[in-house]
């Protein structure tokens, strides 16, 4: 459409010129004593237009001629800038390819090119960022080469360059990246305190990024600061930094370490209450906490209270976890009440083929001096138990029951089975 309009305009101009020139009878007379020169007005206009074009072309040519030195200088600056960026890209490529020595040389070449440009007064607009990135690449290469002196030198220079223009968002992010890399290198050096110190210098928003939280988690685990590591793992789980299963496993492991660090029942109780509700619902964690209560000589009633949510889901537990649950409950059977005895009996009735629950029911009946039911449950459970420890305990209990009723042959046979188990 635009081309058609231009064509119409061109035709219009041509028609106007033809009409003007065709009917124009005017003349221009020049008096140059003693001469008189008569010229056509059309010719005069044409000569004036040609002179204008010629002068304009001559001025443009003169301007281009005078601008040649500046163009040459700009071309040289562009070549140096291209060489600088090419060296920077080459350093990144060599670093990702594992050629750390070449990467450091390329980064240093980029720094040399930038210094040459800045010395000539032609520093790029993002020169601070370029210098910071080049120093970071050189420091990363030095870290891979185990050259800590060169790494610290380039790191300090990168941070110095990145803090020269704090108002620039890009340079600020480069500074945050340098700090994160420094914290990561401190972890590689097994210096978690230095890593935490680096992270503490980050702004609040940067400190809550997934990468920063991952580094903080590793630093806390290296420093054996389990409480800090657990809080950090919770944040990472909320940020979906791990898969649900991996997040649950990490949180469970850290919570287990936190429970293991308790030295008495009071401290264990505070630790348990500091856990989140979802964490206290984890079967593995609740069973372990109950076992810790028993091992520290705590109240078995507290252990059973912690195990109650797990017991309500006993049907969904794995075999190994069900065995741990039974052992945790068995340790406190001396003080078991009627409510828990009813729960155990109901659990066995709901799963009559589960030898583990039948074993627990038999041991509970034995503690309550219900000898007949204990004999029945333990005899049936001993035939189906897969866990060696429970199998041995069942035969030992049967041997004790046989001795109580004076059945020496049955007791001897039960002790033999216990020894073989």
The one-character DSSP state at 333 is G
For 228, other C-beta atoms within 10 Å of its C-beta total 17
In a shared domain, residues 331 and 341? no
| Last residue of one domain, picked from the residues 335, 362, 387 | 335
- Domains of the chain: total: 2
CB-CB contact of 259 with 292 (8 Å): yes
Query: Among residues 335, 357, 386, which one ends one of the domains?
Result: 335
DSSP letters, 364-419, are HHHHTT-HHHHHHHHHHHHHH---HHHHHHHHHHHHHHHHHTT-HHHHHHHHHHHH
Q: Do 355 and 286 fall into the same domain?
A: no
pLDDT of res. 28: 72
Same domain, 399 and 347: yes
Six token digits for residue 142: 């030095």
398 backbone dihedrals φ, ψ, rounded to 5°: -65, -35
Please indicate, yes or no, if residue 125 is contained in any of the structural domains: no
Residue 398 CA neighbour count, 13 Å, CB half: 26
Among 335, 354, 389, the domain boundary falls at 335
* Cβ atoms 362, 384 nearer than 8 A: no
Q: Kindly state whether residues 344 and 385 are assigned to the same domain.
A: yes
Tokens, residue 75: 């071309």
In this structure, the answer to whether residues 357 and 319 fall within a common structural domain is no
Total residue count of the chain as it appears in this document? 421
Same domain as 377, residue 327 = no
Strands 35-40 and 27-32: what pairing?
antiparallel
CATH for 360: 1.25.40.10
* Residues 370 and 382 placed together within one structural domain of the fold: yes
- Residue 162 located in a structural domain: no
Q: Are residues 347 and 331 in the same domain?
A: no
- Cβ(192)–Cβ(222) under 8 Å? yes
CA dist., res. 226 & res. 346, Å (int): 39
In a domain, 110, yes or no: no
Q: Are residues 346 and 330 in the same domain?
A: no
Specify whether 344 is located in the same domain as 420: yes
Q: Tokens in use for 340?
A: 């828990």
Evaluate whether residue 109 is within a structural domain: no
* Residue 398 near residue 385 (C-beta atoms within 8 A): no
DSSP letters spanning 121-132: T---TTHHHHHH
Give residue 20's pLDDT: 66
What is the separation of C-alpha 178 from the centre of its chain, rounded to a whole number of angstroms?
Answer: 16
Do 327 and 314 share a structural domain?
yes
pTM of the model: 0.74
Compute φ and ψ for 102, nearest 5 degrees: -65, -35
- Residue 127 domain-assigned (yes or no): no
* Same domain for 353 and 325: no
Give dist(CA 234, CA 217) in Å, integer. Answer: 10
Any domain includes 418: yes
358 in any annotated domain: yes
Residues 6+ apart with CB under 8 A from 165: 128, 171
Rounded to the nearest 10 degrees, the angle between the axes of helix 244-260 and helix 226-238 is 160
Domain that holds residue 289: 262-335
Report if residue 393 sits inside a domain: yes
The one-digit pLDDT tens for each residue of the chain (421 residues) are: 888 888 888 877 777 766 666 666 777 777 777 777 777 777 777 888 889 999 999 999 898 888 888 888 888 888 988 999 999 999 999 999 999 999 999 999 999 998 888 877 777 777 888 888 999 999 999 999 999 999 999 999 988 887 765 546 667 888 888 999 999 999 988 999 999 999 988 888 888 889 999 999 999 999 999 999 999 999 999 888 888 899 999 999 999 999 998 888 889 999 999 999 889 889 999 999 998 988 888 888 888 889 888 888 888 888 888 888 888 888 888 777 788 888 888 888 888 788 888 888 888 888 888 788 888 888 888 888 888 888 888 888 888 888 888 777 887 887 877 787 6
């Amino acid at each position: 459409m635009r081309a058609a309009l231009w064509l119409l305009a061109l035709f219009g101009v041509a028609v106007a010129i033809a009409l003007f020139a065709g009917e124009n009878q005017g003349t221009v007379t020049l008096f140059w004593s003693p001469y008189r020169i008569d010229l056509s007005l059309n010719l005069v206009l044409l000569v004036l237009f040609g002179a204008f074009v010629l002068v304009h072309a001559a001025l443009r040519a003169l301007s281009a001629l005078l601008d040649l030195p500046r163009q040459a200088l700009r071309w040289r600056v562009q070549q140096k800038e291209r060489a600088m960026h090419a060296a920077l890209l080459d350093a990144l490529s060599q670093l990702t390819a594992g050629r750390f020595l070449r990467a450091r040389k390329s980064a240093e070449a980029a720094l040399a090119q930038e210094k040459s440009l800045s010395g000539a007064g032609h520093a790029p607009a993002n020169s601070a960022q370029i210098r910071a990135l080049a120093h970071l690449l050189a420091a990363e290469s030095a870290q891979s080469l185990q050259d800590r002196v060169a790494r610290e030198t380039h790191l300090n220079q990168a941070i110095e360059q990145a803090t020269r223009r704090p108002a620039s968002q890009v340079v600020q992010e480069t500074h945050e990246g340098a700090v994160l890399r420094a914290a990561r290198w401190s972890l590689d050096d097994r210096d978690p305190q230095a890593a935490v110190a680096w992270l503490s210098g980050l702004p609040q928003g940067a400190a809550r990024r997934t990468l920063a939280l991952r580094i903080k988690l590793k630093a806390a685990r290296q420093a054996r600061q389990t409480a800090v590591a657990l809080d950090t793992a919770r944040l990472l789980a909320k940020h979906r930094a791990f898969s649900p299963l991996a997040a649950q496993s990490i949180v469970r492991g850290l919570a287990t370490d936190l429970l293991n660090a308790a030295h008495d029942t009071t401290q264990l109780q505070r630790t348990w209450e500091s856990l989140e509700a979802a964490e206290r619902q984890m079967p593995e964690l609740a069973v372990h906490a109950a076992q810790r209560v028993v091992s520290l000589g705590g109240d078995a009633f507290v252990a059973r209270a912690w195990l109650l949510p797990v017991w309500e889901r006993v049907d969904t537990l794995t075999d190994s976890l069900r065995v741990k649950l039974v052992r945790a409950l068995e340790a406190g059977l001396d003080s078991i009440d009627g409510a828990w005895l009813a729960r155990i009996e109901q659990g066995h009735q709901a799963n009559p083929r589960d030898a583990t629950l039948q074993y627990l029911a038999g041991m509970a009946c034995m503690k309550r001096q219900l000898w007949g039911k204990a004999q029945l449950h333990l005899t049936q459970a001993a035939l189906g138990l897969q866990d060696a420890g429970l199998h041995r305990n069942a035969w030992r209990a049967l041997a004790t029951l046989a001795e109580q009723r004076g059945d020496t042959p049955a007791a001897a046979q039960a002790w033999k089975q216990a020894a073989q188990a």
